[in-house]
Chains A and B, each alone.
Chain A
Amino acid sequence: RKEVEQDPGPFNVPEGATVAFNCTYSNSASQSFFWYRQDCRKEPKLLMSVYSSGNEDGRFTAQLNRASQYISLLIRDSKLSDSATYLCVLRRGGQNFVFGPGTRLSVLP
């Protein structure tokens, strides 16, 4: 079993839709959690960190469930510009990170 798993998609959704991504992880000692966004052929960029209490940034909401070992990302009112691959990232400790394979989102007009 991979340490971090994500549904690869693609998720094809119309503009304005709400879409949710899940990520499961197997290492219960993981210390920090993040969602990164990667546009085609570009470098990954931090979308948001994920906190145990859940956190929101505009149209984006992230949740962490340590007991079930999953992380979620909810995008409301999808925009064309949200089309990208979304990467679930864990920090094992120190500077040791593990990335999920990513979920591809296409927002259609």
Chain B
Amino acid sequence: EAQVTQNPRYLITVTGKKLTVTCSQNMNHEYMSWYRQDPGLGLRQIYYSMNVEVTDKGDVPEGYKVSRKEKRNFPLILESPSPNQTSLYFCASSLSQGVREQYFGPGTRLTVT
């Protein structure tokens, strides 16, 4: 089944404790992105990647890191999480050509206390 998977789905952590949210897709897509969704603000793009070893900042990259060492994986790293990073996070992937429909993972709900 073609899909984007994220782990963990739910995470409660404390300020300053490094964490990684994994994202993997099995559709051989070149493009991958990370978003956060907050009430009233919609989805905002954090980082995106056009291919292996090619990443770029979205609209809200501060406090986040990403890497793209393999085509299928695009982990999101929070080196020192803070309460304002409490949010719902989505990973997405798409082909490089055509409509560029984005396929989203199921989301990761992160709470930083």
Contacts and interface: CB of A to CB of B under 8 A. Distances in A.
Interface stretch (A14-22, A41-49, A73-81): A41-49
A86 to B, nearest CB: 12
B41 interface: yes
Interface string A69-109: 00000000000000000010001001111111110000000
A44 B104 contact: yes
A4 B59 CA distance: 13
Interface in A1-58: 4, 8, 32, 34, 41-46, 49
Contacts of B45: 96-98
A98 to B, nearest CB: 7
A94 B50 contact: yes
A45 B43 CA distance: 13
Given A97-B45, A98-B45, A99-B44, A43 B50 contact: no
Contact of A91 (B56, B58, B100): B100
A7 to B, nearest CB: 13
Given A44-B104, A45-B104, A96 B48 contact: yes
Contact of B41 (A34, A43, A94, A101): A101
Nearest to B57: A96
Question: What is the interface residue range for chain A against chain B?
Answer: 20 to 34
Contacts of A32: 99-100
B42 A102 contact: yes
Contact of B90 (A44, A49, A101): A44
Interface of B: 31, 33, 35, 40-45, 48-50, 56, 58-59, 90, 94, 99-102, 104-107
14 contacts: A8-B40, A32-B99, A41-B107, A42-B106, A45-B104, A46-B101, A46-B102, A91-B100, A94-B50, A94-B56, A95-B56, A95-B94, A97-B45, A99-B35
